Homo-oligomer: A and B are copies of this chain.
Amino acid sequence: MDKLKSLIRVEENFNKFPSVGKKSAERMAYAILDMSKEDVEELYNSIKDMKEKVHSCPICGFLSESEVCPICGDPSRDTNTLVVVSYPRDVLVFENAETYNGLYHVLGGVISISKGKTIDDLNVDSLVKRLKEHKFNEVILATNPTIEGETTALYIAKLISPFVDKITRLAYGLQMGGNLDYTDSLTLSKAIEGRREIK
C-alpha cells in the first residue's frame, strides 16, 4: 500500500529541519492529523507572527523584536568588551552562562569553501564600522572550534586589527564535568598547550 501523498509532503517538510529525522518527521505529521483545526492555526499563526516580528538588530546582528536588540538596548551592559560569534543562538549560550556582561556581534555564519561562503557574506562591515565609532578594550572571537570557525576567526582578527588593541580567542581544553577518558586527543593536546601554572 502506498502512503498518502499529502502526508508524505508534510513529512518531507519536517524532515528538512535540523535534528528532525525521518521517524520524528513521520510522528509529527501524524500528530498534526490528530490536532484540532485551532491548534494547527495556532501553530501557523505563531510562526507567521515570529517571522514578521523578529529581525536582525541593526547594531549587532542578533535577533530582535524591537528597534535594537535587548542587549544593545540595555544601558547596564559593559561597553568595553565585544564577543564576536557566528550565530544568534551562540549569544544565548553566553547569556545562559551568566558570566559575561559585555556586548556581542553576530557574524551570521562562517567562511566556508564547501558552501561558497566568503567573508563578504558575513556581517563584517557593521563590525568594522562599530569598532571605528566606539573604542572597545577587547574583542573576544568566539566562533566555533572547527576548521571553518578557526579560519573565520583568523580573517576577522586580521580585518579588525587596526581598530582594537586586544583581540582574544576562547580557550580550548577539557570540558568541565567531563571525563579525561572521553577527551579526544586534539582537545587534550590543546589543553596541554594551554595549561596554567597553579604553583
Chain A residues engaging chain B, CB cutoff 8 angstroms:
1-7, 9-10, 12-13, 16-20, 23-24, 26-33, 37, 39-40, 42-44, 46-51, 53-54, 63-65, 70-71, 74, 88-89, 92, 95
Are A50 and B65 closer than 8 Å at their CB atoms?
Answer: no
Complexed CA–CA distance, A18 and B28 (Å) = 7
Are B10 and A50 closer than 8 Å at their CB atoms?
Answer: yes
Residues of B within 8 A of A5 (CB): 65
Complexed CA–CA distance, A12 and B45 (Å) = 13
Are B89 and A30 closer than 8 Å at their CB atoms?
Answer: yes
Copies of this subunit: 2
Are A7 and B50 closer than 8 Å at their CB atoms?
Answer: yes
Query: Chain B's nearest CB lies how many Å from the CB of A78?
Result: 14
Are B54 and A47 closer than 8 Å at their CB atoms?
Answer: no
Are B4 and A32 closer than 8 Å at their CB atoms?
Answer: no
Which 3 pairs show the lowest CB-CB distances between chains A and B? A6-B50, A9-B46, A6-B53
Residues of B within 8 A of A33 (CB): 50-51, 54, 63, 88
Query: Chain B's nearest CB lies how many Å from the CB of A16?
Result: 8
Beyond known contacts A4-B50, A40-B47: 16 more, CB 8 A cutoff: A1-B70, A4-B54, A6-B46, A6-B49, A12-B46, A13-B42, A13-B43, A17-B27, A19-B23, A24-B24, A29-B50, A30-B88, A30-B89, A40-B48, A43-B47, A44-B47
